[in-house]
Structure 1
Amino acid sequence: MPEFFTRKVWNAAAITTLALGLCAFSNRPPKQPVHKTIEQRIDSLMAKMTLDDKIGQTAQRGASSRVKGPLPEALKNAVREGRAGSVINVVDIDKVNELQRIAVEESPRHIPLIFARDVIHGFKTIFPIPLGQAATWDADIVEQGSRIAAVEASSVGVRWTFAPMLDIARDARWGRIAESPGEDPYLSSILAKAYVKGFQGDDLSKPNSIAACAKHFVGYGAAEGGRDYNTATIGQQMLYDVYLKPFKAAKDAGIATFMASFNDLNGVPATGNQPLLKGILRNEWKYDGMLVSDWNGVVEMTTHGYARDSSDAAAKAANAGVDMEMASNTYEKNMKALVASGKVSITQLNTLVRDVLRLKFRLGLFDDPYTEQPDGKVILTDASLAAAKKAAIESAVLLKNDNVTLPFAKTVKKIAVIGPLADAPHDQLGTWTFDGDSKDTQTPLIALQNMYGKDNISYAPGLKFSRDRSTDGFSRAVKVTHDADVIVFFGGEESILSGEAHSRADIGLPGAQDSLISALQQEGKPIVLVIMAGRPITLGNVLNKVDAVLMAWHPGTMGGPAIADMLAGIAAPEGRLPVTWPKTGAQEPLYYNHTNTGRPANKQNYVAIDSIPVGAWQSSLGNTSHYLDAGYLPQYPFGYGLSYTMFDYYHLVQDKTVLNMGDNITISAEIANVGEHAGTDVVQLYVQQMVGDVVRPVKELRGFKKISLNPGQKQHVVFTLNTADLAYHNQAMKLVTDPGKYKIWIGKNAAEGLPGSFEINEPVVKAPVKGRRTKR
C-alpha cells in the first residue's frame, strides 16, 4: 500500500455485504500517518501518476438522482481503472464502501473517491427551503440546519454537498429563487458564512463534516426575465458590489469547493470564463480549493455557441480552471489529445489534479476512506426535529393580520381546514429534497387535529393539488365551514413548481385557488391564508378576501406542528422578508437597493391609470419612473414582517455627525414592545450615500439585530459603522469610500425607519516636508 494512504480499522457492521472482499484488508495492520504537509503528500502522489491517472481524477460519475439497485458494472469498472475522482448520488453506506474499497485497493494509484450529493436544506430532516431560512435573519439557525444535514448525510458516506447556493436573486419568477439567500448581499454574506461553518464544522477531516460548495459562480440569479439558464448581463460595479459578495464571504470562511455557473456572464459562459474563474477566483481571491462544473456545464458551452465541439469545450473549461467535470465526459474523451497538442498544458492539468487531491487530503479520505456505521441514532433525532420546527417558526412571515385574527382567540373551538397543501407531505418539503421522505413529514392538518381534536377540525381540500382547476370539490369545502369559527386555507404552489427549470411568468396562486377562496369568503367567516411556496406569490384580489396571511415558504419536515403552534399562539412567526414582494410578476425584477433615476416616483408625482381623464392631451403625465397600472411600490418591502405584538422605535442617537476617513460612527435607537404578547423583531440599519462616482443605491442594509422582548420591555440597540463599511467600486474599479453626505435609518424594514445623517470629511493631504540643504 502506498505511503500516502493510511486508514482506521473499519467497523465490521459496515461491511456485512462485503465481508469476503474486505477481510484480508481489514486484518492488515494500519500504517502510521506520514507526517508530511498536504502539499508534500500531493507531490509524492503526483510523481507516480500517469496521464491517464490524472485525467481520471477530473471525472465525476454517477446518476442524475440516485444510483438504484446493484451498482452498475460500468461504474465499478470506471472506479477500478482509476477513471473516477468522485461519484455523485450514491447514498447507501454499503454501496459507498464497496466503491471506496475498489478505489483504494484495486485502482492503479489507490486514490479514494469523494461521494457527493445535493444536500440543500436537509438530508432526512428537512428544514425550510433556503429562501425561508434567509427569512429567519438568523445565522445560528442556518448553521444548525447545515450541521444537522452534514451529520445525517455523512452517516451514509456523503462527504460533499452542492450547497450553499449563493446567487443573489432579484426576480421571483426565477424558479431557483427558492434556493437563494435573497436579494441583499449583506444578509446573504452573513448566511454564506453560517452555511460553510455548519456543513464543514471546525475540522473538515472529521467524519461528520462535509465539503460545502459555493454555487453558482456567478450571476445565475440575474438570469434574463427570470428564465432559468438564461444569459446574465452584469456591469463590473454591480458584479463586485452585489453578486460576488456572498461568494467572497464563503471563500473567506474557508469553503472547500466552488461550482461554475450554467449561464453566460456578459457573453462568456461561466464554465469557460477565464477572467472570472482565474482572474477573480484564483488570482484576486487566492482561492486554492476545488472548482467543479455544473451538470453537463462543460459540454453545454457548445450549445451556447462558445465552443466548437466537445474538445474545444474541454480545453476552454480546463484552461479556465475547472478542476472536475460533472456528468459530461469531455475531459475523459479529449484531454490526452489536448495535452499532446499543447492546447492544454501539462502544467495546467497538474494544477487541476492537485486541486482535486488537495480536497481529498483535507477531507481526510487518504487516512480514513470508509464510512462507519454511526453509534446510535443520527437521522431524524428528537433534537433535529426540534431544530427543524424552530427554523420553520423563525422563517414564517406574517404579512397581514386584520382584526387581530391571529393568533386564534380562546373562543375559537372549531376550525375548517381547506386547501390543496393542508395535507401534502411531499410538497411541504419543497424543492431539492432527494432524500426527504414524505412519511416523515408532519402536516398542518395532522398537527391541528392533534392540537384541537379531530372532532373540532373539519377538512376538505377543495382542490386535489395546487394547479387543479376543477371546481368539483368546492361545494364540499364550503359545506365543512358551516360550523367553523375560522377558516384556514393552505394554498401556494407544489414543490415541483419552484426550483431548477421551474420559472413562472405568472407567480400568482395557480389553479383555481383564487376562485375557491372567493367561494369561502361568501360564508362571512374569518379566513387565514397560509402560503406554502418557493417564492413570493402575487396575491392580487386574494389579499382583500382574507383576514390574515402567513407565508410559511415550503417549511420542511416539521412545518405542520410549527404552523399549528403559530396559529394557536403557542409560538409567534418571527420571519422578515429576504426579498421584495411584488404586486404583480410584471414588476420583476424588483429589489429595494435599486439606484435612482433622474425622475424617481413618489406619492406626489405618481400617476395611476384610473386617474387619467378620458381623451387627455398626450403628455408624459408626471415624468417619473413607474407603472401606470402597478405603481412604483411593491406589495411588501424587503425586511417586512408583522408580529403578534407591536414594536415602537424611538430616540435615534448617533455619536458623530462628521467623520474622518477611518472613523467609526455609533448609531442607536430604543425599541419597545408596546403590545400584549412577547415577540421578536429584526432591527435593521440602512445607509444611503447621497452622491458617488457612480450612482449609488437608494438604501443599503448595513446591519441588523434580532431581539426578543416581553410586553412593556424595551432594549437599546446599537450599531457601529466604520467608513470602510461604506466602500464600493468606483468607475476605475477601485474599492473606495467617498467623502460626502450620507443618510441613515434604523427601522423595521427597507421602507420605514428613524432617520439620521452624517458627513465624511475630505481626507487631509499633508504637504511634503521640504528638507534643508546642507552646505559642504
Structure 2
Amino acid sequence: MLDTRISRRAALLGAGAIAAWAASPARAMLQSATRLPVPAFIDPLIAQMTVAEKAGQLSLMAAAWGGSAAPSLNPASRGPNFEGQLEEVRKMQLTGVFNGNGAEMARRMQTAAMTQSRLKIPLIFAADIIHGHRTIFPIPLGEAASFDLDMMERTARMASYEAAACGIDWTFAPMVDIARDQRWGRTMEGAGEDVLLGELIAAARVRGFQGKDLKANDAMLACAKHFAAYGAAEAGLDYNTVDISERTLREVYLPPFRVAFDAGAITTMASFNELSGVPATGNEWLLRTLLRDEWGFEGFVVSDYTGDEEMIAHGFAADARDATKLAFLAGVDMSMQSGFYRQHLPDLVEAGEVPMARLDESVRKVLATKALLGLFDDPFRRIDVKREKARSRTRPALALARESGRKSIVLLKNDGALLPLPKSGRKIAIIGPFAAGPHDLNGGWVVYGDNKLAVDLATGIKAAVADPALVSITPGSGIEEAIPGGIEAAVAAAQGADIVLLSIGEGERMSGEAQSRTEIVVPAPQQALAEAVAATGKPVVVVLRNGRALALEGAVAKAPAILVTWFLGSESGHAIADILFGDFGPSARLPCSFPRRPGQQPYHYDHKPTGRPNPSDDKLEPYKARWREIPNSALYPFGHGLTYGDIAYSELSAPATLGWNGEIGVSALVTNKGSRTAEEVVQLYIRDRTASVTRPVRELKAYRTVRLAPGASERVTFKLTREQLLFIGRENKPTVEPGTFDVWIAPSAEAPGVHARFELQAS
C-alpha cells in the first residue's frame, strides 16, 4: 500500500526558504534527476526506423476510446474510431494516446504495438491527472491554500498510485503557471500569484507524481506546463497574447519551471500563447536557447493540444507544413493532436529542410523517456485490470481526500466568533445552488472522477449533527439563473432556522480552461438570493464554491462568517463539516488575493510601489496610485486566513546588519490568545528599499506553520542570507546589491505584523 506518511525531507523543504535551498548541495543532487540517460539499444533501434516511423514516435493523439469526460475537455477530435487507431498503432504512426479509457483499452493498444507492429516499440499512455484520478482531491489552487507541501506531495502520490494502475504512464501536470489575473479561468489549475509558493508546490507535486522510481508501477512521469508565461495572458483571456519584459519572465514566470526540472520533471508542454510576438510553440529562443542551452534541459517538449496547428491562426505559420517546420526546429519534440508531424516531417526531411540529425535527436529523447519509465523492460507494467479496480477509491485515498479538503478551506471572516457551530440544538438551513446534489463538487479538469460518488454539503452536514431532522435544504436559485419561487422558499427556510449556511459561488464549468470571466463576482441570481436571505436577520455563514478569487460584494461580503471552500473533490461535504463544527480548525491561507472590485485585475500583492503611492488605505489622496473609488489593496490579500484561535504577533528580533556572506536570524513571538488550539501560517516578507531595478512592496521569502495551544506562545525564527535577496538585474541575470531592507513577520502579505529594517553590507 502507498506510504502517505510525512517525510522528514518534505517537512524540511516546507519549513525553509527555497532561495537558500536553491544554492545548496541538495539542489545540486536534484539536478542530476533532470539528466536523461540513453540506453545503448536506443541508437541501433533508431537506425532501423523509417522516417515515417520516426515521425510516428513524435505524434501523440487523443484516445479514440476515451475516458467518460474526455470529449468535453477539448475541441472535438477529428481522429479515427478505436479500430482505426489500432491500425495506426500497427503501422507505427503513434507514440501513444492520452485520456484513454482505462486498463482494458491500454492492454489492447499495447498488445497491438508489441505483437503486430514492425519494431515492437511500446506505446506511452498519458492523461490529464490534474487533481486526482478516481479519487478527486481539491483543485490545485485549493490545495495551494493549505501551504502544506507534504500534503500536496501525498495527494499527487495517491493520484499516481490510482492512475498508474490503469495504464497511465504520464500526466500533464503540474501546471506551474503563476496567475495574477483572476479573470483567467485556468487560475484554478495552479498555485496562485506568488513565485516562492509556486516553486515549492511545483517541486512537491513532481516528487509526488514520480515517486522514488519512475519504473515503479505506481509512478507517473510529470509534465511541467505551460512553457512559458501562459498565466500572463492579456486581460486574463485564455489563449491570449503575452507581452512582458524578459526580466519579468525570468523573475516571475520561469522560476517554478526551473524548480520542477530540478525536482526531476523531464517533460514540459509548450504554452498556447505567443510571447512578445512569437508563439511559444515556435519560439526557438524559449525552447532551445533558454531551455536547452542555458538551463541544460535534456528531456522533451510536447506541444499543447493542436498548438502547432494554431500557429496558422496566430498568423505566424503559412500552412500545416510551415507550422510543422517552425514548431519542430524551434524545439517542440512531440506534436499533440494535430497530426502535423506524421503528415509533414517525412517530406521536410526528404527536402532537406529538417536535418535527419534533429529528427533523430527528438526520437532519442522520446525513446529514452519510455526506457526510463520501464516500458521497454515490461510494456504492460502499469496495465492491470484487477489492479485498476483494487487501487480505485481506497479508504486511505478517501481519508486523504478529506484531510486535503479541510486543510484547503480558508476562513476569511468570523465576526463574533460565529464559527465553529454546535452540533446540536440549532436548526440549520442550507440554502443555495450547491446545498445538495451530486454536482459541482469535483471542479474542473477531471477526466475520470464522478460527481455522483462525491459527498455533497448536505450529506456532510447531516452526518455531523446530532439530529439530521433539524437540517433543511433549499436551493433558492440556480447557478446562473433564477428559480421561480426560489427566493421566497429560501427566505421561509431562513426564517425557520437558527443559522443559515449559504452555499453559493461558481459552478464547476465557470472556472478552468476556456472559462475566462469579465466579472469575477457571485452570479447575479445568487447575489439576489444572498441579499434576500441576509434581510431575514438570521446569522449567515457563506460557504463559497469557487475556482478563483472573487470580488465579494453586498450581503455576501457583509456576512458575519465566510469560508472559501474552492472545489474540494470526493470528500467535499465531510471536509467542510469538519471545519464548520470545529472538529478541526481552519488553517489554510489565500494563495491569491481577493480584490475589492473586479476592475482591479490583474492584482497581486507583490506589485511595484509607483512614484505616487497612496500612503494609506484609510485616506485616499488625490493624484496618487489608487482607483477613483477604492485603494489599490486587496479586500483579502495573499496569505490571509483566520483560525479559531486569536493570534497575536510581537517582539520582533532582527539584527541591524547582514554580512555579505553571512546569515541572520529574524524572529517574532507568536501567541494564541484564544480558547482553542490553532495552526498559524507565519510568513516572512522583505522589501528592498532602493535598487538599480525597482522592487516590489513585499516579497514572501519563507513561511512556517506552527500549532499553538490556547494561551501558548512560540518564538518563530527564520534564517536570511544574501541569496534570498537576489533579483533579476538590468542585464537579466540574478544580482543582489548592498542596501536597506524591510522585513516583516506577518499573517498575510498586507498585514502589519511586526516590522524592522536591516542593512545588507557590501562584500
**Partners of 2:609 and 2:586 in 1: CA distance:** 33
Q: Please report how far the alpha carbon of residue 439 of structure 1 lies from its aligned counterpart in structure 2 after TM superposition.
A: 2.1
Cα distance 1:67–1:646, how it changes in 2: closer, same or farther (>3 A)? closer
Paired letter, 2:630: A
Q: Equivalent residues in 2 for 1:649-664 (5 A)?
A: 649-654=649-654, 656-664=655-663
Whose radius of gyration is greater, 1 or 2?
1
Alignment deviations for residues 636-683 of structure 1 (CA, whole Å, 9 cap, x no partner): 1110001111111111112x3222322212111121111011111100
Alignment deviations for residues 407-466 of structure 1 (CA, whole Å, 9 cap, x no partner): 114675210110001114331110011111122101110111222233110111111x31
Q: Equivalent residues in 2 for 1:436-515 (5 A)?
A: 436-452=449-465, 453-463=467-477, 465-515=478-528
- Please report the TM-score for the alignment, with normalisation by the length of structure 2: 0.91
2:679 maps to: 680
Q: Equivalent residues in 2 for 1:83-482 (5 A)?
A: 83-370=93-380, 371-374=383-386, 377-409=390-422, 412-452=425-465, 453-463=467-477, 465-482=478-495
Cα distance 1:547–1:604, how it changes in 2: closer, same or farther (>3 A)? closer
Quick one: higher RCO (CA 8 Å, sep 6+), 1 or 2? 2
Cα distance 1:664–1:346, how it changes in 2: closer, same or farther (>3 A)? same
Q: Is residue 49 of structure 1 aligned with residue 59 of structure 2?
A: no
Q: Equivalent residues in 2 for 1:666-745 (5 A)?
A: 666-745=665-744
Paired letter, 1:266: S
Contact 1:458-1:481 at 8 Å conserved across structures: no
Q: Please report how far the alpha carbon of residue 470 of structure 1 lies from its aligned counterpart in structure 2 after TM superposition.
A: 3.5
**Partners of 1:305 and 1:240 in 2: CA distance:** 26
Q: Please report how far the alpha carbon of residue 603 of structure 1 lies from its aligned counterpart in structure 2 after TM superposition.
A: 2.0
**Partners of 2:524 and 2:268 in 1: CA distance:** 38
Contact 1:490-1:531 at 8 Å conserved across structures: yes
Cα distance 1:64–1:220, how it changes in 2: closer, same or farther (>3 A)? farther
Paired letter, 1:513: Q
**Partners of 1:522 and 1:718 in 2: CA distance:** 47
Alignment deviations for residues 318-348 of structure 1 (CA, whole Å, 9 cap, x no partner): 1111111111011111111111222211111
Q: Is residue 747 of structure 1 aligned with residue 755 of structure 2?
A: no
1:623 maps to: 623
**Partners of 1:146 and 1:697 in 2: CA distance:** 32
**Partners of 2:67 and 2:576 in 1: CA distance:** 35
**Partners of 2:196 and 2:762 in 1: CA distance:** 26
Contact 1:230-1:263 at 8 Å conserved across structures: yes
- Please report the TM-score for the alignment, with normalisation by the length of structure 1: 0.90
Q: Please report how far the alpha carbon of residue 182 of structure 1 lies from its aligned counterpart in structure 2 after TM superposition.
A: 0.5
2:3 maps to: none
1:643 maps to: 643
**Partners of 1:164 and 1:410 in 2: CA distance:** 39
Query: Secondary structure of the residue that 1:487 maps to in structure 2?
Result: strand
Q: Please report how far the alpha carbon of residue 381 of structure 1 lies from its aligned counterpart in structure 2 after TM superposition.
A: 1.1
Query: Secondary structure of the residue that 1:667 maps to in structure 2?
Result: strand
Q: Please report how far the alpha carbon of residue 604 of structure 1 lies from its aligned counterpart in structure 2 after TM superposition.
A: 7.5
**Partners of 1:645 and 1:599 in 2: CA distance:** 38
1:30 maps to: none
Query: Secondary structure of the residue that 1:429 maps to in structure 2?
Result: coil
Query: Secondary structure of the residue that 1:38 maps to in structure 2?
Result: coil
Cα distance 1:605–1:387, how it changes in 2: closer, same or farther (>3 A)? closer
2:576 maps to: 563
Unaligned 5+ residue runs, structure 1? 1-35, 608-620, 764-776
Query: Secondary structure of the residue that 1:745 maps to in structure 2?
Result: strand
Q: Please report how far the alpha carbon of residue 471 of structure 1 lies from its aligned counterpart in structure 2 after TM superposition.
A: 4.5
Paired letter, 1:352: S
1:23 maps to: none
**Partners of 1:148 and 1:624 in 2: CA distance:** 50
Contact 1:118-1:163 at 8 Å conserved across structures: yes
Paired letter, 1:39: P
Query: Secondary structure of the residue that 1:254 maps to in structure 2?
Result: coil
Cα distance 1:448–1:503, how it changes in 2: closer, same or farther (>3 A)? same
Cα distance 1:37–1:262, how it changes in 2: closer, same or farther (>3 A)? closer
Paired letter, 1:99: M
Query: Secondary structure of the residue that 1:480 maps to in structure 2?
Result: helix
Q: Please report how far the alpha carbon of residue 373 of structure 1 lies from its aligned counterpart in structure 2 after TM superposition.
A: 4.0
1:618 maps to: none
Q: Please report how far the alpha carbon of residue 365 of structure 1 lies from its aligned counterpart in structure 2 after TM superposition.
A: 0.4
**Partners of 1:63 and 1:369 in 2: CA distance:** 18
Paired letter, 1:492: G
Cα distance 1:173–1:93, how it changes in 2: closer, same or farther (>3 A)? same
Cα distance 1:374–1:73, how it changes in 2: closer, same or farther (>3 A)? closer
Q: Is residue 523 of structure 1 aligned with residue 536 of structure 2?
A: yes
Identical residues among aligned pairs (%): 40
Contact 2:681-2:705 at 8 Å conserved across structures: yes
**Partners of 1:411 and 1:98 in 2: CA distance:** 55
Q: Please report how far the alpha carbon of residue 605 of structure 1 lies from its aligned counterpart in structure 2 after TM superposition.
A: 8.8
1:25 maps to: none
Contact 2:135-2:397 at 8 Å conserved across structures: yes
Paired letter, 1:667: V
Alignment deviations for residues 719-759 of structure 1 (CA, whole Å, 9 cap, x no partner): 11210121111111221111111111111001122112211
Alignment deviations for residues 81-139 of structure 1 (CA, whole Å, 9 cap, x no partner): 00000111213211101100111221121110110110000001111100001100011
Alignment deviations for residues 577-615 of structure 1 (CA, whole Å, 9 cap, x no partner): 0011101110000001111211011227953xxxxxxxx
Paired letter, 1:695: T
Paired letter, 2:165: S
Query: Secondary structure of the residue that 1:296 maps to in structure 2?
Result: coil
Query: Secondary structure of the residue that 1:336 maps to in structure 2?
Result: helix
Contact 2:678-2:708 at 8 Å conserved across structures: yes
**Partners of 1:388 and 1:247 in 2: CA distance:** 27
Q: Please report how far the alpha carbon of residue 65 of structure 1 lies from its aligned counterpart in structure 2 after TM superposition.
A: 9.0
Q: Please report how far the alpha carbon of residue 575 of structure 1 lies from its aligned counterpart in structure 2 after TM superposition.
A: 0.9
